[in-house]
Amino acid sequence: MKPYLIVIFLLPFALWSQDDYTNKRDSLFSIARNQNEADTIRGAAYIQLSELYYMQNMDSMHIICEEGVKVTSLYNQKIAPIIRKKLLDQKSQLINNAAIGSYATGDLSTASILWYKSLELEEKLNDTLGQTKVLNNIGNIQIDLNEMNKAVTTFRAILPLQSSINDSAGIARTYNVLGYVERVEGNDSLALDWYQKALDIRLRINNQSGIAASRINIGFIYKKQANYEAAIRQYHLAAEIYRALGDRRGLIAVSNNLANCSYEIGDYLAASKFARSGLMEAEELQSLDYQMHLNEVLYKIYDATKKNADALTHYQEFISIRDSVDSEKNYKALINQEMEYEFQKKEKIKELERVQEKAAADLRNQAEQEKAFRFKLIAVIVSLGLILVVILLYFISKQLRLAKQQQIIIEKQNKEIEMKALRSQMNPHFLFNSLNSIKHFIIKNESTVAAGYLTKFSKLVRLVLENSKHNLISLQEELDCLNNYLELEKLRFDDKFDYKITGDIEAHFIQVPPLILQPFIENAIWHGILNKEDGLGQINIEVKSLKTAVQIEITDNGIGRKNAAEIVAESGLEKKSMGLTITHERLQVLNRVIGIESSIEFIDLVDANNKAIGTKVIVYLPYHE
């Protein structure tokens, strides 16, 4: 149950007799709906009407508020700023009143939406106090909905606003609410901290009723922690204040808590004294809730002291009052319904009189009404038919979408299979060339060096097999594999070339297809470097970061593509590079499967005399992190 210190800021609604209500209502309507009146005067009338309807006809209250909001929204930009501000303030009040009505009828969702609209207007008005009130209402709804985390966030947002206007009483009240939320969540230590902060402020500003309430809250935490002596001290301090203020209801609350604490520590004499004193006050003030609680504690006291007759008496009284409390709630609901019925009945009598005065006109319109009814009936039937058609079309569309999605999945699986097949072709090709390198090296070199070469090769094979399991690997893994391959080829060809790998990019975070660069390196060595007759061969691999892609440049200082092609043609062994062919096909499949729009560019390098001095291959791969 929420503590009474958590307050929704309700309007100062007055209590009216039925006659006063009718006269006041008619008077306000004559002003509110008079378009010759100033908009600010009409807005004020609608605000008062919403207050009246809150008391007598809450179901129609939102209609009054909606009418008032329309009136206060009709101003143009030419009016004076002070008038515009006044109308904006009235609009916020009307939305706030509508939210209060929704809250009172249990429509928390609508109330929350309206209060957020009111908060937006209060922010436009730069009304800090108004913002704190609306935020307080929103926080209370969040507590009602058991959204405690949101409530904590909301009430914490209130604190700096209250601080900016030096609202010490408001800050203490917010601390108290935060303490309540933590208490409900089971965080007693945090609850105690908030309650203590509230108490410190109230002591400083000498808010006596607030001090007493804070001490009761602190006492509750101590009681919950079974620190009954500390709780009793807090309750006695609160009792002193309530006696000085003449607050009998506060004294009843203190007596109830003191009776329970004394019972828990086994001081049955004191417990009985506090309970009987509180019960007497509760009976005089007709407070059924406290009568119920105090009879319950007296029953427990007499049961513990073996006074069975007294225990039975108070137990029976406790059960009787508990049933009465439930009945009272139902009775109040019934009374509210009867009041609403009486109000509506009087409204219907007046409406009947007006109907009788216009009986002749109603008879003439009867035929038209029947025609309109038939038209509405036909419209309803047609609307239902259209709804059925829309539902049918929706399900057909949904089935078509599902079929299309399944087709896309099947196509993607087919492309995945195609790409795996290409990778399976690439691996044997690469391994075949590497095994040729080992055979050549073993024949040409000593066995010790051959063993070292074989160790490097086994590492390379492991990397190749591991990487080939994936569609994409990190660029760093691809570069590590290339480095291993270049080391082997450099050993095999007696250091006929050197190489360098550089870059300005975080290669660990960029994804590329495995073995995508090796065929270009192989081409550079076999067709460019090995046919070079003078000087040391050089292969440079440079990785660059572009705006939307990674660019990999592979440059060699070999004999160039044209000269290499002529040598191959003269040897009679002309054939297309299998590695480059497979690489092109792999990139095309990747473009279709995962949308990597890559490209390859070959550049023939020449000197000033147009003599070939090497080849540059540029591979563009869009980022795929």
- What is the per-residue DSSP string for 64-110? HHHHHHHHHT---TTS-HHHHHHHHHHHHHHHHHHHHHHHHTT-HHH
At 500, is the secondary structure helix, strand, or coil?
A: strand
Name the least confident of 71-75, 341-345, 422-426: 341-345
pLDDT above 50 for 11: no
- Identify the CA nearest to 502 among candidates 472, 479, 525, 477: 479
Q: In CATH, what number does 1-145 get? A: 1.25.40.10
pLDDT of residue 141: 85
569 pLDDT more than 70: yes
CB atoms under 10 Å from CB of 500, counted, come to 11
Q: SS3 breakdown of the chain: % helix, strand, coil, rounded to 5?
A: 75, 10, 20
For residue 552, the model assigns a pLDDT of 92
Average pLDDT of the segment spanning 446-471? 76
Question: What pLDDT is stored for residue 361 in this prediction?
Answer: 55
**Domain 147-245 architecture:** Alpha Horseshoe (1.25)
Strands 497-503 and 537-545, by their bridges, are parallel
pTM (two decimals): 0.45
Q: SS3 for 22? A: helix
What is the rounded distance in angstroms from the CA atom of residue 196 to the CA atom of residue 201?
9
Q: Within the chain, which residue ranges are assigned CATH 3.30.565.10? A: 412-622
Residues of the chain with CATH 1.25.40.10: 1-145, 147-245, 247-347
Would you state the pLDDT for residue 21?
A: 72
Residue 420: is its pLDDT beyond 60?
no
Please say if the pLDDT value at position 294 is more than 60.
Answer: yes
Tally Cβ neighbours within 10 Å of residue 623: 15
- Partners of 543 in the β-ladder: 503, 552
CATH superfamily of 412-622: Histidine kinase-like ATPase, C-terminal domain (3.30.565.10)
- How much is the average pLDDT of 399-422? 62
The pLDDT value given to residue 475 = 86
Residue-level pLDDT at 338: 34
Confidence of residue 408 (pLDDT cuts 50, 70, 90): low
Per-residue pLDDT of 110-168, as tens digits, reads 888 899 899 899 888 899 988 898 898 888 888 888 888 888 899 999 999 999 999 99
What tens digit of pLDDT does each residue of 337-364 get?
Answer: 333 333 343 344 444 445 555 554 565 5
pLDDT tens digits, residue range 313-340? 988 888 888 876 655 444 333 333 333 3
Q: Of 231-235, 263-267, 396-400, which range is least confident?
A: 396-400
DSSP letters, 570-581, are HHT-----HHHH
Least confident segment among 294-308, 375-389, 392-406, 516-530: 392-406
pLDDT by residue (tens digit) across 495-550?
A: 899 999 998 777 787 888 888 888 899 889 988 898 888 889 999 999 998 888 88
Q: β-strand 511-512 against 599-606: which pairing, if any?
A: unpaired
Give the strand pairing for 612-622 and 549-556.
Answer: antiparallel
Options 1.10.3720.10, 1.20.1560.10, 2.40.33.20, 1.25.40.10; which CATH number does 247-347 get? 1.25.40.10
Judge whether residue 409 has pLDDT over 80.
no
